[in-house]
Amino acid sequence: MPVVELVSVRKTFAGRATPLLDGIDLRLEAGETWGLIGPGAAGKSVLLKLICGLSAPDSGAVRVGATIGMLFQNNALFDFMNVWQNVAFPLEREGKLPADEIRDRAYQRLREVGLAGSEEKFPNQLSGGMKKRAALARAVIARPPILIYDEPTAGLDPVTTSKIYDLLRAERDATGATVIAVSSDVDALRQFAPRMAMLYRGRIRYDGTSSAIADSDDPVVRQFVRGELEGPL
């Protein structure tokens, strides 16, 4: 059975002449890594919200067979909590562990993402890359079977981007989680995700191997992936 399945999913918003998502079908097996690309306002973040249950489709079915951990595009760290408290939040909500163990696990995850020494700081004291790593530590601390990364390297420099993807790979390899990643950095995502899709005008125009996407028969996909100025886009 797939761990994530979408069947004929449609989503519309008031004021739009056409659906934002128009008949999306998706099937992800346990342990797959699926990368999603597409132009701005194509509906990528909306698709993630549907999978997470933060929004409901107008029609069609969304089936998710496991718990989800999510890294939000804007990090979504709580300003009133320090770093380790932010990271510990998913475990606090579960309420299954004693307070001292939750704190120890939060400190451990922060060490693993290179934030040792920043545990007592608040989000406004962190750089953009540090915030991203703290948000990643929070997303994975409960070891969810499904991980969703929405623009994990947006606004980061190339060196920090490389470090973040190294962390994402290490987490995936350690847990075998099913991973969904949306990114505007097409080249970095191609190296991370063996399977990729492109969303365009409400439909998935490509869903296949990342190694073949740049040579797709679809000129829209090919132009977007290659970053070419001339073409149908």
| Residues in contact with 45: Cβ distance below 8 Å, sequence separation at least 6, in sequence order | 73, 150, 182
Instruction: Please give the domain boundaries of the chain with CATH numbers for all domains.
Output: 1-66+184-233 (3.40.50.300)
Note the pLDDT of residue 154.
85
Q: Angle at Cα 64 formed by Cα 9 and Cα 31, nearest 5°?
A: 115
Which of 199, 179, 224, 150 minimizes the C-alpha distance to 43?
Answer: 199
Q: Which amino acid is at 180?
A: I
- pLDDT averaged per 10 residues, the chain (length 233): 94 83 95 94 90 94 94 90 96 92 95 93 94 93 94 87 90 94 94 96 95 95 91 82
- Reduced to 3 states, what is the DSSP secondary structure of residue 7? strand
Q: List % helix, strand, coil for the chain (3-state, nearest 5).
A: 35, 25, 40
Note the pLDDT of residue 9.
96
- Cα 167–chain centre separation: 13
Sheet holding 195-200, edge to edge: 68-71, 146-150, 178-182, 33-37, 195-200, 203-209
